[in-house]
Structure 1
């Protein structure tokens, strides 16, 4: 048996004349789905695998299948004669398009044997001259297969070689899925040996030195492995020392390394190669590196050349979860092999433009990265290493006077040491290497299969709703970097059976009891505007976590992501809230430096004054005028003894109703001046830098809010509440009476929630039970009239209840993703999903 190696991911092209046994050979050596046969494709398009007139369509289908498999990263075998250069050319082009290695396997079986085999098959009707022509084409091809682009060519000479051949699949050199870490990934060194030694020892590595005291290795702590991201040489003071240390660590299994563009240039200089017909330009520190190497032995220079030339351009580590490359790597290149993959890994990509410093403008691939693997890279210096869509640049410009940075993986901890001095003056000031803000598109907001959530599995979103949500956000919302959560809708309790009421607490208590809750908490429902407030301990934290601009330390926004106040007033608000957190000792107690709170902002008029005037006050004034005029007419009619008593009774009831309607909205209006008169009622701590809090009982959240009230009583308002034991009739009755008293005094109503929080299944996270008079604002002044109330009792709540559950799951998912540090586009999938669901057809009064 003869074993031949083929890459795990490759395009294997079988080459052989008809009758050479390609199909049998493929069936023996490859999987049934790995082989794509031209005969099979011919049969699929014509019902006859030998119909030559169908060849063009058959090969169009074959190439489509091959392309689809290669795109998916599947080894693919092409079973066709492939003796003509044109046929092979199209296949090599497919391999290049999908960055896989093309391999030719030639079955060189004597023509006479092939003729005999064909004669024994009834489906082979072509003559011997066809075989002779194919054999001639094969002979002409044998010597040039490598030049055509095949990375590997295996020639099986005769029947015995064909029968004895076996194949061993080998991973690409970039494929190190088996190495799980932990890793310490180190950015561009550029000859800064002192800083590299300091960084390694800071991370717990023990340097190994030779007899002369030179560092030749470093023993890692606790089984860790260093990973170097390239650019070891040029510009810095000791490129040779860095090479000696890095080479020693890699040789001892203490480190992994990928090449940078400076190593690529060094290889060409040491090997005497030329670039585009010219000698390598000894600029950007290369001349100094070569001068340092000239002082070393020829053996050391040969070791440097072999080391740098032998480095693979990128590595895929930890089961595919981590990719390292000097200049980064877009997702479709991960684990692929081609010249363009290597070029991207070494140099990145450019827009074709130059900046004001005469340097090429780098294509912002990281802004568009949506892959699941973390990508760590260097190449383009940045002042600070920051996450961008699960990518991070670790070149923090040590040689330019910045610092040398490493990331501990998987911990995510950054370790840096400052440069000892400015070793090389950059063409472009280090502070100029600042990335542009991230952008969003529709595919970020919603995927083709919906949003996966931990609470409810996949939540489907209608594409047209997603598009509408993004349109609303792009036009009216604050900077998307702040939007890590949108509050979900809330379903009302089921329609009340009690006379004269549309909603009453009994039904909410019954529903929770039926779904398995043993206790609920009833929270006063403040009549104001729902707001989400983000508060950071200081401006630097706001910049790091939320991409804030300037000295902003937080924000406040509505259910649709719109800012509540203008920027200056918002900053006053969040600064006051941050101070209250400090005063109450909550920053330290929570071990947090930022928080997201769900709140109610009061009065209602602070945010909705225009709405109150245009909708509610106008409706009240017009109704009063109309009803007064109607009463005048009815009084005249009554004086003439006309039968208008019933109409006058109805008019009186309607005037009473409109009075109740006016009183209802006036209760929620009072004057404010800036933040004077404004009250914030926080009722839930959603998340902080230390985690999420959906598993904490509601009493914990409200007690935390009470501490904020104690710290800043003129800013914060208490949320009154009552805990209810659903198995105790007296407790339930007391809660119903409490609701009656609350609403009789002008309160909006209450929200009933499972006391332990974290609802599961069909249990609602909260149900609102609104007061009888407040509902006049929702359903109109006359909704209590018997005929009107009867029709409202038939309202359908199922869709609203479903929306509430799904939006709650999306909200929790967004918070979880934010705390985990996932990319903004991943967080926004869930955030914008909430807004998209609000476009579903449902009665907005519910």
Structure 2
């Protein structure tokens, strides 16, 4: 080996165990070949627990710490290197067990250096110079006894270095796991169980666009296994799939039927049941003209990998389904689950094993596509999809186009094999699976968002949100979005004003936003409307509906109308259906169902009057203040007038009382503008201001001028007068005249008693020069409206000066975090993700509402 270096392949997720006598150079080898964070040294752990790396009495505790740290790293998917002597079989046994617990490969790197080298090295180290010679001799004896049996102990790879030169020149080469194909991004066509139905396979490949096993657009087929058995032409299926895999046009994972066939071809004793007899007979006929085919099949099956992780980790393909903890892992347990799934230990009335409903509890971000258990229709359950639709039993052969998530199927030509059990869906919870589980929301939460990264939710806030959602919210299946809080404009120093549009325009100019749209702020309450085309859509897409017949519902609800905290807006469900019916009529008349290519739409809106939802608040807070002022102030003014008539010098006090009375009257007038009588829907108005999402698309990033054009059409085609236009004005933030026109528009509107306006980037979803999200909207409330919020006398100079020190940072941060979560919920909804994934973001918005912030902002 002189002058030649060795390469030692190490799997990227594995437990590397260094084995060697004291002084053999394990630590030096580890430092040279691995990252410092990847190495866990027994000496270091000894120092952690005893403050002395050579204190052998602390070894038991030190190894407890070592195993704990190694376990945490392996659980997190990190390559881990154990630097200890590991010459005793029992110490290695614990490490092999640890690797198996985490479904990673144990790899041994043995430094079998001569005794004199180890003794000499120890003599040069101050901490080892007093080590008795017999210690190294014992290590060497134990090591020599172990060398031949390391693979039998469970090590998948064993690298032995016998000289100083070998150890110095050896190079670790990190290899991908066989199942790690994250670098392959597709597009893919994933094909379900075939079971020898070669004719149906060719038809399906044709439907998918393949020509003689290749796709002209470079798509890759992925087969989920069970190619063989039961059907009429297993050799034909194998020949097609094997050629596609060999040419790079396909990937394939093994099914349990390939596994059994592979054992048969190796001469193992297996029962010729469940269709194997038919495959054996067909292969025997092949032997006559193609005797080499049998050996090719055996080699192909032997090379199949249990599962693949594809498309940057977004997609996992296996035969029988795979929980998230096994994705990308390598062990016999993982392979067994990928091939056979997990059973409960029971059998059904047909004598078949009852399978554990792993998909019901699946919460992974990667989509898992599999087969194995026949179902009549392929449908998503918690981001998992079973593609075995029983082609061999007379059902269909099904494929999934990825990333399009489009399902393509062809019918079976006939029943090729009578099923023991009729085709019935085992998918739990219908199309979307179980919605929200306590484990999905309890405790401190971290939600990954596309637009803002990680958003944290405190444990105490999560508990408060859980109570609201469980006790007061609408049917959770209809709760796909909650709107964010709105950021207030910066405090104004304009005389007499706490808020003014100039600051909002200036902020967006700093953020690099050239064009903004000013939208009238309506005198009502925030409302979200989910409108389905009919009750059937509500049942099919959202899983709601039953025997009840609400007006217009024809068998169930046709959507939902709820507040910004998820509560039903109207207590009367029949009245809610009338509102949804009027919205549906307008969408239909405007031709938007076809334009959006959807059967449902989610809208953000304002429902008026404010008193419709805030009657209790009006009675207990605002009306009470006005009534008290109306009762007390006139009496006080009268008493002061009498005093003045008697010559008492109370002029200043009387003047202040008159000012208070004027302020109180202005306060009463301000809140009364938001109240008017309604009967049923008479007097009720709904002002939609944004289309949030439709089937397959989030529209939250569509520019506001396009959004408002859609909404104008809705209002125009509403024959009932329920819908109200949102007035708007576009302002150029860099043009003084344009900014002045925006300010004048706001002054005119608020001067007539209007609430104010919301200033938004015209382009909707916008980032600043540093790539940070820009506020989606800044509210600028009118001078008189703020009197309701801050009290009758807030406009007095001394009060305004005090209020100008208000802290806005937390509110603005909250608005951006809730905005990012809302966008995430809409993206997940549009992407057809399971309901628990959508609720994760929705729930987080509700939880953030519990953060302490000045409610007046």
Q: TM-score, normalised by structure 2?
A: 0.84
**Structure 2 Cα separation of the partners of residues 728 and 91 of structure 1:** 70
* Correspondent of 1:779 among 790, 798, 812: 790
SS at match of 1:704: helix
**Structure 2 Cα separation of the partners of residues 508 and 114 of structure 1:** 74
SS at match of 1:609: helix
- Structure-to-structure mapping, 1:673-752, within 5 angstroms: 673-689=679-695, 691-693=697-699, 696-713=702-719, 714-724=721-731, 738-752=745-759
**Structure 2 Cα separation of the partners of residues 357 and 772 of structure 1:** 75
Match of 2:395 in 1: 402
**Higher mean displacement: 762-771 or 647-656:** 647-656
Task: Assess if the C-alpha contact under 8 Å between 1:442 and 1:467 holds in 2.
Answer: no
**Structure 2 Cα separation of the partners of residues 33 and 384 of structure 1:** 48
**Structure 2 Cα separation of the partners of residues 257 and 689 of structure 1:** 32
Task: Assess if the C-alpha contact under 8 Å between 2:319 and 2:372 holds in 1.
Answer: yes
SS at match of 1:472: helix
Q: Does 1:419 align with 2:419?
A: no
- Structure-to-structure mapping, 1:216-231, within 5 angstroms: 218-231=213-226
Deviations 1:177-218 (A, max 9, x none): 4544332111122333332221011112234xxxxxxxxxx3
Task: Assess if the C-alpha contact under 8 Å between 2:428 and 2:434 holds in 1.
Answer: no
- Structure-to-structure mapping, 1:362-377, within 5 angstroms: 362-377=355-370
What RMSD over aligned residues (CA atoms) do the two structures have, in Å? 4.1
Task: Assess if the C-alpha contact under 8 Å between 2:194 and 2:228 holds in 1.
Answer: yes
Task: Assess if the C-alpha contact under 8 Å between 1:493 and 1:507 holds in 2.
Answer: yes
Q: 1:273 to 1:553 in 2, by over 3 A?
A: farther
SS at match of 2:482: coil
SS at match of 1:601: strand
**C-alpha deviation, 1:260, in angstroms:** 1.5
Match of 2:471 in 1: 475
Match of 1:245 in 2: 240
Match of 2:589 in 1: 583
Q: 1:637 to 1:469 in 2, by over 3 A?
A: same
* Correspondent of 2:201 among 183, 188, 196: 196
Deviations 1:122-154 (A, max 9, x none): 624344444444344334334433332223344
**Structure 1 Cα separation of the partners of residues 38 and 493 of structure 2:** 66
**Structure 2 Cα separation of the partners of residues 845 and 24 of structure 1:** 63
**Higher mean displacement: 295-304 or 696-705:** 295-304
Match of 1:486 in 2: 482
* Correspondent of 1:67 among 66, 71, 76: 71
* Correspondent of 1:430 among 416, 424, 429: 424
Q: Does 1:464 align with 2:460?
A: yes
Q: 1:11 to 1:783 in 2, by over 3 A?
A: closer
**Higher mean displacement: 160-169 or 312-321:** 160-169
Q: Does 1:531 align with 2:527?
A: yes
Q: 1:775 to 1:48 in 2, by over 3 A?
A: closer
Match of 1:211 in 2: none
Q: TM-score, normalised by structure 1?
A: 0.85
* Correspondent of 1:344 among 316, 321, 337: 337
**Structure 1 Cα separation of the partners of residues 794 and 164 of structure 2:** 92
Task: Assess if the C-alpha contact under 8 Å between 1:445 and 1:829 holds in 2.
Answer: no
SS at match of 2:819: helix
Q: How many residues align?
A: 830
Task: Assess if the C-alpha contact under 8 Å between 2:449 and 2:820 holds in 1.
Answer: no
**Higher mean displacement: 120-129 or 310-319:** 120-129
Task: Assess if the C-alpha contact under 8 Å between 2:390 and 2:423 holds in 1.
Answer: no
Match of 2:551 in 1: none
SS at match of 1:206: coil
**Structure 2 Cα separation of the partners of residues 288 and 206 of structure 1:** 29
**C-alpha deviation, 1:616, in angstroms:** 4.0
Q: Does 1:315 align with 2:321?
A: no
Q: Does 1:145 align with 2:150?
A: yes
**C-alpha deviation, 1:157, in angstroms:** 6.1
SS at match of 1:67: helix
Match of 1:254 in 2: 249
* Correspondent of 2:317 among 306, 324, 328: 324
SS at match of 1:531: strand
* Correspondent of 2:518 among 500, 516, 522: 522
**Structure 2 Cα separation of the partners of residues 30 and 308 of structure 1:** 35
**Structure 1 Cα separation of the partners of residues 595 and 152 of structure 2:** 69
Match of 2:818 in 1: 807
* Correspondent of 2:106 among 92, 102, 108: 102
Q: 1:311 to 1:540 in 2, by over 3 A?
A: farther
Q: 1:529 to 1:49 in 2, by over 3 A?
A: closer
**C-alpha deviation, 1:581, in angstroms:** 1.9
Q: 1:508 to 1:4 in 2, by over 3 A?
A: closer
SS at match of 1:144: helix
SS at match of 1:686: strand
**C-alpha deviation, 1:599, in angstroms:** 0.7
**Higher mean displacement: 753-762 or 703-712:** 753-762
SS at match of 1:297: helix
Deviations 1:530-580 (A, max 9, x none): 112223445565556545556654322211122223555444433432331
Q: 1:775 to 1:148 in 2, by over 3 A?
A: same
**Structure 2 Cα separation of the partners of residues 756 and 112 of structure 1:** 75
Task: Assess if the C-alpha contact under 8 Å between 1:453 and 1:459 holds in 2.
Answer: no
Deviations 1:94-149 (A, max 9, x none): 11122122233444455566556656766243444444443443343344333322
Task: Assess if the C-alpha contact under 8 Å between 1:451 and 1:829 holds in 2.
Answer: no
**Structure 2 Cα separation of the partners of residues 64 and 406 of structure 1:** 43
**Structure 2 Cα separation of the partners of residues 355 and 11 of structure 1:** 41
* Correspondent of 1:770 among 777, 781, 785: 781
Unpaired runs of at least 5, structure 1: 208-217
**C-alpha deviation, 1:256, in angstroms:** 1.8
* Correspondent of 1:393 among 380, 383, 386: 386
Q: 1:658 to 1:7 in 2, by over 3 A?
A: closer
**C-alpha deviation, 1:340, in angstroms:** 0.9
**Structure 2 Cα separation of the partners of residues 514 and 319 of structure 1:** 37
* Correspondent of 1:85 among 84, 89, 92: 89
**C-alpha deviation, 1:813, in angstroms:** 4.3
